Amino acid sequence: SQLTATKAGRHTVRDKGTYVILRELHRSERDPQVLVACEKLIQVLIGDEPGPGMENLLEVNVPEEVEEQLQRLECEEEERWWQEEEERQEAGGSTPSPKEPSR
């Protein structure tokens, strides 16, 4: 995530074809933490570039209540992911691959 904190870093990561590599890694990776990290990075790569004043995301001041809400949402998302993973394992299925970007 540090590499994609700056506009230049995000541009470099996109230009190197990282999305394709991550998509393939996500299809074969079994470690849930690696899969979550891949999904988050893929969302950064396929998402819109942040607006002016947000070129370096490490320097953006986030209000405390927004930070708390984002942390809570991240925890909820991780819990949902683990529940879905458990259900897939019980059903004998495999981990799904991330959706292709709709560009």
Q: Do 55 and 72 belong together in one domain?
A: no
CB 89 within 8 A of CB 47: no
Per-residue model confidence (pLDDT) at position 68? 92
The pTM score is 0.56
Q: Which amino acid is at 50?
A: P
Residue 16: phi, psi to the nearest 5?
A: -85, 0
CB 25 within 8 A of CB 38: yes
Count of Cβ atoms closer than 10 Å to residue 23 Cβ: 17
Q: Do 47 and 4 belong together in one domain?
A: yes
Q: Do 44 and 80 belong together in one domain?
A: no
Print the domain residue range for 70. Answer: 62-92
Tell me the pLDDT of the chain (103 aa) as tens digits.
677 888 888 889 889 988 889 888 888 888 888 888 888 888 888 888 888 888 888 887 888 998 899 889 888 888 887 888 888 888 886 545 444 444 4
In this predicted model, what pLDDT tens digit does every residue of 60-82 receive, in sequence order?
A: 788 899 889 988 988 888 888 78
The H or E element spanning position 45 is helix 32-46
Per-residue model confidence (pLDDT) at position 80? 84
Domain-embedded: residue 100:
no
Q: Do 53 and 70 belong together in one domain?
A: no
CB 101 within 8 A of CB 29: no
Q: Do 54 and 22 belong together in one domain?
A: yes
Per-residue model confidence (pLDDT) at position 65? 92
Look-up: residue for tokens 């947000």? 54
Tally the domains of the chain: 2
